[in-house]
Structure 1
Amino acid sequence: MKLPFKSLVLLLLLLGAAFTAGLVAFYSMTRQRLEDEALLRQLLRAKEIAFLLKPGIAYTGLVAESTAAVVAPVRDAAEVERLLQALLTSAPSEAIHGLGVWFEPSAFPGDGPAPAPYAHRVEPGKAAVVVSDAREAQREEPREQRWYQQALKGQGAPVFPEPHQVQDSIYRVHARALTEASGRLVGVIAVDVFIPQIHGLLQQANPPNGEELLYVTTPGGRLFAHAGQEPLLAWVRQQGRPVKSLGELTLADALQYEARQTPGPRHTTDVEVGESGWTVHISSAEASLFASLERFRLAILLLGVAVWAVLLAVPFLVHRTLRVRQLSFALEERRRLHGILVRSEHRLREVLETSLDAVVAVDAQQRISDWNAQAERLFGWTKEEAVGRPAFEVLLGPELQRLLERGGAVTSHQRICTTARRRDGEALPVELSTTVVQCGGLPVRYLFLADITERHRAEEERSRLLAQVQQRGAELQATIDNMVDSVVVSDGVGRITFVNKAGRQFFGEVGSEGVQVTDSDLEQRGVRLGGERVARLEEMPLRRALRGNVVVDADLSFPSPERRRTLHLRANAAPIRDEHGRITGAVSVARDVTEMVELDHLKDEFVRVAAHELKTPVAIMKSYAQLALKSEPTPATYRKMLDAINRGADRIDRIVRELLDVSQLHLGQLKLTEEPLDLRELAEETVANMAAQSTQHRFSVQPGDAVIIRGDRGRLRQVLVVLLDNAMRYSPSGGRVDVRLALHEREVEVCVSDEGIGIPHERQARLFERFYRAHSGTPHDRGGMGVGLYISREIIFHHGGTMRVSSEEGKGSTFCFSVPYSSQREPEPLHS
């Protein structure tokens, strides 16, 4: 096809115009993006400065909160000054300069003026602190100032008043009302910072070329800091305004200064600093801000000129070679079409020969005209033997013959299952699809046959396995339904998907399949966790398992109207995960432990009743024995018997008290009397009493100052007696028994160490269990019920402390307990 030269030129011009239009559109789109990018960089710079300023302002709030918490209850002026000085000393010198409290007259009794202490640093950046009267620094009544009124209106919330000049350099940036716990107004707290630090921050962030200016304004629109502070003040003074500091200028003055000093347009971005009302302004020359946009415009212009130069040169280069190219193209096209035809035939043959299906072509006379390699392997006939034979004689059975003779019974692209025949006569299950192709005006039917013998076997195996799975599922269902324990399964959102028979009996309608339990359901049923409080839904074992936890032995209880008793369950739960480890549900198994719990309560009640019943006869026996010992004269033989009776009564009385303590602890009825006491004095007194009973052991109490705590004196003495008695009992050859008291930040630790036989490592974990004796069944068994350490640990636990043991067999043991410690004695009661 010939292309006229004029048409080519016109086409190139159209292409050039289209390219130019596209280039202009691209420039417009990219220009907007570059402008947005430059403005975004400017905004990020402003946000960066605001981010640097925000922690300092936030820190003033923390200092104000700390000052309010410390100073509010204090009414001594000297103590307030000391506290202010300590708070200011601990604050960073580069952030906080001054800290003052202006008290209301009603906060201090008397007719004199209310104190107004103010602590400030001697020099900027120095740690030295001076305390002075805030009235002298203020030199005017603070209650008449606007910042004071704003702080009162804030009612304890922070306010950020306008800067207040103090000694030409201090600005107040944070104020808040100071109130007591009752809500009564005490005064106002104010926190001051240095402007030079903020000015230095702006100077550091400001580029030296002056193309960008950074400054900060207050909520009232006054300048707080400016990167070009000195030139700005000099310019304002040249205008005839006698200003002393930057705080006398406004944002309008800064903008007017920029317009006079820097040529060309500028763009300003504002960012507010947190909730303080401060605003960071960043002003940039547009020539510098959009420099990349100008470079991009120049590059686009050069690209357009280059493209037009190439387009105008192409017609002259193409004109001479156009005819030769057209002739060459026609010849090459013929060669290409011939090659495509040859390759297509070759590919078709390769596809047929490598097909996994047997491919058989049947002509209009029902004879085989083509036969691929898979057909040879499948039916046993070679291609030479099969081609030309009647198709029905070679491979087609009677059923398939009837299908093909009916014509439309098997449509194109439809696959049916039927039976073919091998060379040896064996029937072969196949999957058949067929299509008809016109070849030379005559129809040729192509048959595609796939051996499905393995599929039949797989289907039979699948049916067998499915039946087996169904049988196993029925067995599992019957097993779960007949379990004594309840089984509850939920999906990933907590909706119940399966409940066995025991679960339905336990939970009723609340545990039915498809129900999603709520907190109101638990409250209505009175479900309790651990027998102490009403359980919340998120604490239930099934819900905890949905969060990935494995729950073991969680105790639940709730009243059962059907059984007319409280039902106690012990539940375990675990998450159900898919092959990727994601939690798709949870399962909970609960066992009815009502009988066991009730039996446990009966045992505790029996112990308590038995102990009470034993107290009276033991007391009578002990009283009569002591009375007989005091009677004169008493024969020596009778005295020994009475001593034995007295010791036996003491032993029985101690056992009775321990049984009562165990019963009270288990029933939650142990009561403590809280009073201030000196723990070191109590330890020394107890050790002295125990030392009087044993002459083989050497007792010592580490000396030191008094340790005042709040606790039950009798119960703590009982703990010390148990630890000292064990130290004596399991140190048969005597030795040292040391008592040490160690003071920590919030607790005091008491340790009792001996040089006795020690405790095997594998038995130490159970030392604090009820009725457990570490040396039971060994030559070192000293008797006892094994409840002393259990009672001691529970007493310490009720005091808010902990108990631990460290021991090495053959070298002795150390038992320690810790209780909360108060560093100051309780005030003595006032006497009238």
Structure 2
Amino acid sequence: MKLPFKSLVSILLLLGVVFTGGLVAFYSMTRQRLEAEALLRQMLRAKEVAYLLKPGIVYTGHVAESTAAVVAPVRDSAELERFLQALLSSAPSEAIHGLGVWFEPSAHPGERPALALYAQRVEPGQASVVVTDARESQPGEIREQRWYQQAMEGQGAPVFPEPHHVRDSIYRVHARALREASGTLVGVIAVDIFIPELHGILQQANAPGGEELLYVTTPRGRIFAYPGKVPLLEWARSQGLTVASLGELTLGDALQYEARQMPGPRRTTKVEVGESGWTVHVSSAESSLFSSIRRFRLAILLLGVAVWTVLLAVPFLVHRTLRVRQLSFALEERRRLHGVLERSERRLREVLETSLDAVVAVDCYQRITEWNVQAERLLGWTKEEAVGRPAFEVLLGPELQQLLARWEVVAPRQRSCATVQRRDGELLPVELSTTIVQSGGMLVRYLFLADITERQRSEEERTRLLSQLQQRSAELQATIDNMVDSVVVSDTSGRITFVNKAGRQFFGEVGSAGLQLSNSYLELFGVRLGADRVPRVEEMPLQRALRGNVVVDADLSFPSPERRRTLHLRANAAPIRDEHGRITGAVSVARDVTDMIELDHLKDEFVRVAAHELKTPVAIMKSYAQLALKSEPKPTTYRKMLDAINRGADRIDRIVRELLDVSQLHLGRLELTEEPLDLRELAEETVANMAAQSTQHHLWVKPGEPIIIRGDRTRLRQVLVVLLDNAVRYSPSGGRVEVRLERHAHEVEVGVSDEGIGIPVERQARLFERFYRAHSGTSHDRGGMGVGLYISREIIFHHGGSMRVSSEEGKGSTFCFSVPYAPQREREDLHS
């Protein structure tokens, strides 16, 4: 239920009246308390000053009382002078200026007192004291002075008379009557107060600025001390008053001075200072004294105005609430739409600025309205230079000029190639697309330009490389198809994906593309691997390559019905890897070595047959030569001829035996007769026989313990003879040949070292090949068939050992072979 507007106004006015009445009552009550508090603070200030002045008055009273007790019985002038000097010297210089003593004539006959001394400081505030005759400094009769009469009337009580003049000086004294022990009044004693000390107390108590004044008056209303002494005296003289000191001015004069010289009303509070009759006055400006009341009144007034403003504004606010709410909703919706628009424009701006294409907007007046960063880089015009210019001046190029001349909308996502001209005149190929949108009540064309220079270059390069690749592929295909060797490629599953022409001729159906080899295929086609062994599929070179192995010189053989012979192939295989090193297939290259192997067999058979055929006639020739040498003596000429025939027969016999050994090794028919033997003894025996035949060289065996091995004595002697014969043959006359035997953990190593011509490094790798001669064709060629080292290595290999060589050209060579020890039992039996 809604409250009527008039009722609402009446209720608010009533609340305002009630609140105003309460606010006035609260102000009145609080004002009284604040005013009383301010007057109390003023009273406390006056009492504070009175409290500061009281100790000095009390002290002078004590001094006067003490002086009266001491000097009352004194009648001697010198003694009285000494007492006064002592008393004044001991008193503080900042409190007491002088001491005076006067005696009544009744105590000393004569018209004037016999004793009247006055002790004072030589300089104010100093300790040095001088005593003078008080009658010389007092004008007229002392008993007629008002202060003297007041002291006598006081009957010994303290008296603070009004300030009086003595020789242009004003004295403020604390006086009292002197009594003898009998109580008879005999004189008066006076203590002069040090006025600067009183003024100092007032100066410290007064606040700067004159907002608050503290001063002291005498019992008769005379000014005793005033903080602004000089301004007050100047004002009094300007009023026509003849005054020399503050003591001549009254309290009325001070109040009149304050009223005229200090603006604004003032409030004065006074406090009596003990029994002295002095009064401390505190005069404060009401503006300063009651400043808290003024601030409180202003706060109450502002509060009332604020409350009435609120009460009067409520009806207007209520009346406008619905309208304001409606406007707020409209404004919020407008802000939301404005924010959406700003975000949309910001996103559009970000898209335009971060776009990889150059974006240009042209309005219906052919003026450029948008130009992004890519447009600056592509066309060479900055945004500030391009925006606002005619599009025909900036967008140069036949396609762009033709496009700007018409306004039909290009199909969406349709891009075309064009040529644009940069600001510096360079022509660039671009990819162009355009669209027309409605913006701000007009049509705007957006052009999107993408630099395709690099793309064209890439396309040209790609076309060139593709052509080159196709040419290379054709060349490679032609090369592979015309290779004598077969080329077979398989995928990771082992399925054959490519076979060249030679492969198809070699393998026939087995080498067809798309075929996957199996054990049954290998058995069916009689494939053999190595020495007539039927292989399994995983042992084939191509399958081994798929597992990551590189296969070199694997021998394959299989019958070929077309050629009516057994084909022998020597295959190499390797895995095919991608850029990440993963195996994606394998390739195998095989060469037909059938003719070479058959020729090798024929050669070996020829060597074997020739050796056997030569063996018998050589033996007959050697036997007849030896028999002829042993028969009756022959002439020297015949004997030399028979010796030559015998040596030739020996050499032919050695060659025949070597050829037979080579043949047996190649056919795998070398037989060994193994037995336990002392290798050191065999080496010493062989060296001794060689030394007897070659007296021009020094052959020796490094001594040591016996070394028992298991081997063929004849074949091991044959190895030692070959190594010693080579050492002697390629060493200079008088050279040294050393044989050493070194023990190792499981074998013994025999080394034959010479000081001969050495072997070039590049020829050492082939030393153990059949029929290879390292010095063939050089000045160091000593003849021979080049099979000695080959046979020696094979003999050591059949003994379970190995052979190696180390040589340096011009410094000699060392040939070493190692063989295992004989079993422990055989070694013990041989030693026993």
TM-score by length of structure 1 reads 0.50
1:143-174 C-alpha deviation (Å, 9 max, x unpaired): xxxxxxxxxxxxxxxxxxxxxxxxxxxxxxxx
Cα distance in 1, alignment partners of residues 803 and 349 from structure 2: 89
Structure 1 residues 435 and 669, CA gap change in structure 2 (3 angstroms): farther
- 1:128-143 aligned within 5 A: none
Structure 1 position 644, deviation (Å): 1.5
- For the pair 1:484 / 2:479, whether they are aligned, the reply is no
Q: Is the 8 A contact 1:699 1:738 kept in 2?
A: yes
Q: Please, which moves more after superposition, 511-520 or 781-790?
A: 511-520
Cα distance in 1, alignment partners of residues 801 and 590 from structure 2: 34
Q: Is the 8 A contact 2:367 2:387 kept in 1?
A: no
Tell me, what secondary structure is at the counterpart of 1:344?
helix
Structure 1 position 802, deviation (Å): 0.7
Cα distance in 1, alignment partners of residues 763 and 421 from structure 2: 80
Structure 1 position 579, deviation (Å): 2.6
Cα distance in 1, alignment partners of residues 417 and 702 from structure 2: 101
Q: Is the 8 A contact 1:396 1:420 kept in 2?
A: no
Tell me, what secondary structure is at the counterpart of 1:692?
helix
Q: Give the paired residue count.
A: 488
- 1:23-62 aligned within 5 A: none
Structure 1 position 606, deviation (Å): 1.9
- 1:618-767 aligned within 5 A: 618-767=618-767
Tell me the amino acid that sits aligned with residue 597 of structure 1. Answer: I
- Residue number in structure 2 paired with 1:769: 769
Q: Is the 8 A contact 1:397 1:419 kept in 2?
A: no
Q: Is the 8 A contact 1:492 1:586 kept in 2?
A: yes
Given candidates 371, 374, 378, the residue that maps to 1:373 is 371
1:593-649 C-alpha deviation (Å, 9 max, x unpaired): 222222222222222222122112111111221222232243333222212111111
1:749-786 C-alpha deviation (Å, 9 max, x unpaired): 22233444444444333322222233334444332222
1:338-369 C-alpha deviation (Å, 9 max, x unpaired): 34434533553675587625556788xxx879
Structure 1 position 791, deviation (Å): 0.8
Structure 1 position 801, deviation (Å): 0.6
- Residue number in structure 1 paired with 2:414: 415
Tell me the amino acid that sits aligned with residue 348 of structure 1. Answer: L
- Residue number in structure 1 paired with 2:815: 815
- 1:70-469 aligned within 5 A: 338-345=338-345, 347-348=347-348, 351=351, 356=357, 358=359, 372-373=370-371, 385=390, 404=409, 410=411, 414-415=413-414, 417=416, 431-432=432-433, 434=435, 449-450=448-449, 466-469=466-469
- Residue number in structure 2 paired with 1:581: 581
- For the pair 1:556 / 2:521, whether they are aligned, the reply is no
Structure 1 residues 805 and 456, CA gap change in structure 2 (3 angstroms): closer
Cα distance in 2, alignment partners of residues 810 and 383 from structure 1: 92
Q: Is the 8 A contact 1:399 1:419 kept in 2?
A: no
Structure 1 position 536, deviation (Å): 4.2
Tell me, what secondary structure is at the counterpart of 2:826?
coil
- 1:494-643 aligned within 5 A: 494-531=494-531, 533-643=533-643
Structure 1 residues 461 and 382, CA gap change in structure 2 (3 angstroms): farther
Q: Is the 8 A contact 1:531 1:557 kept in 2?
A: no
Tell me the amino acid that sits aligned with residue 415 of structure 1. Answer: Q
Structure 1 residues 490 and 362, CA gap change in structure 2 (3 angstroms): farther
Structure 1 position 421, deviation (Å): 11
Cα distance in 1, alignment partners of residues 753 and 465 from structure 2: 69
Structure 1: where are the runs of 5+ without partners? 1-322, 388-392
Structure 2: where are the runs of 5+ without partners? 1-320, 393-397
Q: Is the 8 A contact 2:708 2:827 kept in 1?
A: no
Tell me the amino acid that sits aligned with residue 640 of structure 1. Answer: K
TM-score by length of structure 2 reads 0.50
Structure 1 residues 368 and 702, CA gap change in structure 2 (3 angstroms): closer
Structure 1 position 525, deviation (Å): 3.5
Structure 1 residues 334 and 553, CA gap change in structure 2 (3 angstroms): same
Q: Is the 8 A contact 1:352 1:359 kept in 2?
A: no
Tell me, what secondary structure is at the counterpart of 2:740?
strand
1:480-534 C-alpha deviation (Å, 9 max, x unpaired): 2222222222333433222211122222233322333334434444444444644
1:310-346 C-alpha deviation (Å, 9 max, x unpaired): xxxxxxxxxxxxx9xx999988886565344345335
For the aligned residues, what is the CA RMSD? 4.6
Structure 1 position 564, deviation (Å): 1.9
Q: Is the 8 A contact 1:730 1:756 kept in 2?
A: yes
Structure 1 residues 764 and 435, CA gap change in structure 2 (3 angstroms): same
Structure 1 position 466, deviation (Å): 4.2
Tell me the amino acid that sits aligned with residue 605 of structure 2. Answer: E
Structure 1 residues 704 and 461, CA gap change in structure 2 (3 angstroms): closer
Tell me, what secondary structure is at the counterpart of 1:556?
strand
Structure 1 residues 429 and 827, CA gap change in structure 2 (3 angstroms): closer
Q: Is the 8 A contact 2:366 2:390 kept in 1?
A: no
Structure 1 position 553, deviation (Å): 3.7
Identity of aligned residues (%): 73
- Residue number in structure 2 paired with 1:826: 826
Structure 1 residues 697 and 590, CA gap change in structure 2 (3 angstroms): same
Cα distance in 2, alignment partners of residues 780 and 765 from structure 1: 19
Cα distance in 2, alignment partners of residues 604 and 533 from structure 1: 22
Cα distance in 1, alignment partners of residues 697 and 526 from structure 2: 57
Structure 1 position 800, deviation (Å): 0.9
Tell me, what secondary structure is at the counterpart of 1:776?
coil
Cα distance in 1, alignment partners of residues 828 and 399 from structure 2: 120
Cα distance in 2, alignment partners of residues 628 and 346 from structure 1: 124
Cα distance in 2, alignment partners of residues 641 and 554 from structure 1: 53
Cα distance in 2, alignment partners of residues 723 and 457 from structure 1: 70
- Residue number in structure 1 paired with 2:782: 782
Cα distance in 1, alignment partners of residues 328 and 451 from structure 2: 52
Q: Please, which moves more after superposition, 344-353 or 793-802?
A: 344-353
Structure 1 position 710, deviation (Å): 2.4
Structure 1 residues 417 and 607, CA gap change in structure 2 (3 angstroms): same
Cα distance in 2, alignment partners of residues 560 and 328 from structure 1: 104
Tell me, what secondary structure is at the counterpart of 1:591?
strand
1:6-44 C-alpha deviation (Å, 9 max, x unpaired): xxxxxxxxxxxxxxxxxxxxxxxxxxxxxxxxxxxxxxx
Cα distance in 1, alignment partners of residues 631 and 429 from structure 2: 119
Tell me, what secondary structure is at the counterpart of 2:590?
strand
Structure 1 residues 436 and 538, CA gap change in structure 2 (3 angstroms): same
Q: Is the 8 A contact 1:358 1:378 kept in 2?
A: no
Tell me, what secondary structure is at the counterpart of 1:508?
helix
1:380-430 C-alpha deviation (Å, 9 max, x unpaired): 99866469xxxxx996969998985xxxx946xx43548899999x99986
- Residue number in structure 2 paired with 1:146: none
Q: Is the 8 A contact 1:397 1:420 kept in 2?
A: no
Larger radius of gyration: 2
Structure 1 position 688, deviation (Å): 3.3
- Residue number in structure 2 paired with 1:56: none
Structure 1 residues 804 and 461, CA gap change in structure 2 (3 angstroms): closer
Q: Please, which moves more after superposition, 466-475 or 628-637?
A: 466-475
Q: Is the 8 A contact 1:397 1:421 kept in 2?
A: no
Structure 1 residues 519 and 436, CA gap change in structure 2 (3 angstroms): farther
Tell me, what secondary structure is at the counterpart of 1:826?
helix
Q: Is the 8 A contact 2:418 2:431 kept in 1?
A: yes
Cα distance in 2, alignment partners of residues 400 and 575 from structure 1: 64
